[in-house]
Structure 1
Amino acid sequence: MLQRIRTAAIVLAMGAGGLVMAPAASAASAASATAAPAISKVSVSPGSPIVVFDKAVTATFSFTTKDAGSTELQLKPPGVSAGSPVTLTAKPFGQWTKWTGTRAFEAKDAGTWSVLALAHGSGSSGEKSVTGTFEVRKALDTKIVDFDADPDQVSRGDALKVSGTLLADGKGYAGQSVTITFREQGTDAYRHVAEATTGAGGGFAARVAADATGWWRAEFGGNGQAAASVSDTDRVDVRVRDRGTAITGFDATPEPVDKGAVLRFDGSLRSGGHGLPGQRVAVQFKARGSDRWEYVTSDVTGRHGRFAASATAAGSGWWRAVYRGTRGFDGSASQADWVRVVQPTPPPVEKADTRVVAFNAYPEPVKRGKYLKVKGLLQIDDEGTWEGYAGKVALYFKPAHSRSWQYVKTTWSSDSGKLSTKVKAWKSGSWKLVFAGDDDTWGDTGRADYVRVVKR
């Protein structure tokens, strides 16, 4: 904490009334022995109050007399009945004599002191006195608390709010100027950035621009009544502003498409005129008459930023590609592409019916992050007899409280129709197997099986 030794220069207030004091040393006066003495008020430098910081403060007391044979100066601390003499030195002051004395004050001397100055005449010329008071104060102990620079991570050039509270002897210190300083990472010196003035409760706040990673703090320089103080530091990390991205050339084909047929999607994710590789792009669908976009599938961009995916056409609507962004890159979305879905033309040849049966997802419940085993049986209708069939079957998942099924993975059934796979479970929800069919068979969707996921 910065400390300074200061005093406030305030005019000494002098009062009337005599005090019982012990005699002190005197100096001879050049005035006539027959004239009554005259005496001025006592001045103190630095003025009242005398503010003591971490070191003792020496105050100088002075007054002038005329026609005085001797003088006294006594100081009485608060709560004490008798004063203590102050050694005086004399110096000619025109027709008057100037008397000067000093005393050192520490923090333990805080309070209102009384002062008595006496001028004794020569022989029977009488006596004159003046009284007064002055105050000794301990400097206020200040502290800056609750300092904060928010947010802790920003892009270069963004605004930060720095705030805190200045306390003096544990209470809010209003109307004081606080300096906001900053030390950049890799440097040793703090530099001035902004000023803030404390409010009624000592609180202060300012907005500053974040240009580099480093440490922020608030400093109070102190004043004639209060010591200086410095807050704790708060680090803010500044990153380069994210670069913009764009999804170009997004297309959903074919259009129109038969219901149940495969739609294919492709496009390119770019930033600054170059393809952005290794980024996941989601494909979303919004059905005709709906205002909700729903996730359908996704793909990771290749070395030139291109992506491709596919999905089953279930109804007419809009398709788009969405990139959520990552560290250093903003997110973006493609233009929407309308696709009309029509009823398919009956196949020129008969296809055999299929069914997905004996589906089970287990164990249930399953611990979060553990593997969930899935098994089932794909069968074909062979002239009235159900037999096992080898085919590609997709696994789908619908989270609890959601209306959308999400593609998870693809597996193959054996020649006997049996299929099994496993997948990690993260959320409670329903699972199902879907056989899309092939050139010789119709597809089928098995029954759903709900599995509850519990925490570890």
Structure 2
Amino acid sequence: MRADLRNSLTAVAVALALTAPAVPAFADTATVGIGRATTFDHQRGAFQVSAWTDAPDSTVTSVSARIRKGDRVLVELPALTASEAAGYYQLPAETPLKLTEDGGQLPELGRYSIDVTAEDSKGNKLTRLDAGTLDFTLRPQATFAVAAPAWTDPVARPKGSLTGIQPGSGDAVPLAGRTVRVSARSEESAQTVAVAADGTFAAEPYRVTTNHNLYDLAFSEDSDEVHGTLKLQHDFYSVTARPVTVTGAVDKARVLPGEPFAIRGRVVAEDDGTPLAGTQVRVNSGGMVRLVTTDADGRYSALFKGAPWKYAGHWYVSTTDVFLEGSAGGQVVMPGESHIEKVQGSLAADTTVTMTGRLEYTYPSDITGIHTEPMRLEHSADGRTGWKVIGTGEASAGSPFTVTGRSTGGWFRVHHPATDTMAESFGPAVRLGRIQTRVVSVNAAPEPVRKGATVTVTGGLQQYKNGAWTLYAGQPVGLWFQAKGSSAYKLVASGKSAANGGVSLKTTATVDGTYLIRYLGTSTSTHFHSSAVGDFVDVL
């Protein structure tokens, strides 16, 4: 706004303003309460305030406010409207406070006191002086951009604009004469850049040496005209580079530990095939990096030695100059030596064999990464010959693994077959066993049976020891029933096997169904679980 117009309007406002009448001070014991009035940052020509009443069966009926500078009232706001947030009141959105030059009532930018009066439906009334401060200042706003450079002009030129958003009108005005801070990656690169009369600014160019370039813009001011802080970033991950053709090849298909190998190739311009002499290239082979320079014919050669740790994957060649775009790659395989440790095994009562352990590289590796390796669970009758696979699984190097299978006992081991990343390895052989059990001669009687009558189910529990089946006395057994048409069994009676291994369990007949006897052992049992073939009974 024009300075002469601002001064004249200020003088008129001061001359015509009325002295604020005396009002009661804000009191915490008042029935009506008024909170702090706060300015909306997105629209500094508006504010909101909370108001409430503690009088029973009463509501707030009116909230008004006035804006003043010192003891001069500049604006009377007879009615604030309820906002979407319960208990809060604000200026109507369509009538924000504005500068006089924008058709409003405030003569200049700055901070103004807000007095608020609230009244409830029972006539209780309170006025709070200095309920808040209207931050009637410009809100800073900026644009910031950095055009990605090209190999023909390898620099970045940060630029942008700085404006202030006027309260009420929302107009953007240039913040001429201010300065912004521009930096690239580090504090040492920071520049203080002046803002021109039209609000634009342009920093000194930065030399670009990497693909990822990050630039920061910062501005802050707290005055009667401008209040706010800005922090913007701009980055780019690519530049317009000169296309080049990079070729390369490994002199061996597979590299053994300790064996030397070389990656060789050439760098030429893509458009005309001109050799690029003196160009530095980065050759990466499994984490081992060589920086080499091309000769007069654009050729390079990088020498490596196979190490006794994991190396399986790609080699990669690229130029180190961000303004030369070209690369080549391929694969070389050298499995890392491996071993299996911390092996433990268990044989559950339901014949589930579980083997756990860790698959590790034998030698420490500088290469990290997650990959899965095949694992096999194998069984042998004597622990030396005839190993057969009874289960498979996966393992990650350096992490615990679990492999399961089914068996009634014998010798077990885990086996990692050779892959392109890890060599073959075996865990120790572990002997596992349990005593087999069985339920025999199951019979449910009477058949048929009347509903509500007793059904008696008999059988025998046996164990296999010393090459023969013998009785198994004093063991927990259960009677399980499956109703006709159902797919699930439920426990209906329980007991123990007699001294002769016999089992006799009773239950009440309800519907047609199948009865069976199960031995499920205990938590310390060394026997396998067992069940018998069920016996079907009709219920009359």
TM-score if structure 1 supplies the norm length? 0.31
Structure of greater relative contact order (alpha carbons < 8 Å, 6+ residues apart): 1
Larger Rg: 1
TM-score if structure 2 supplies the norm length? 0.27
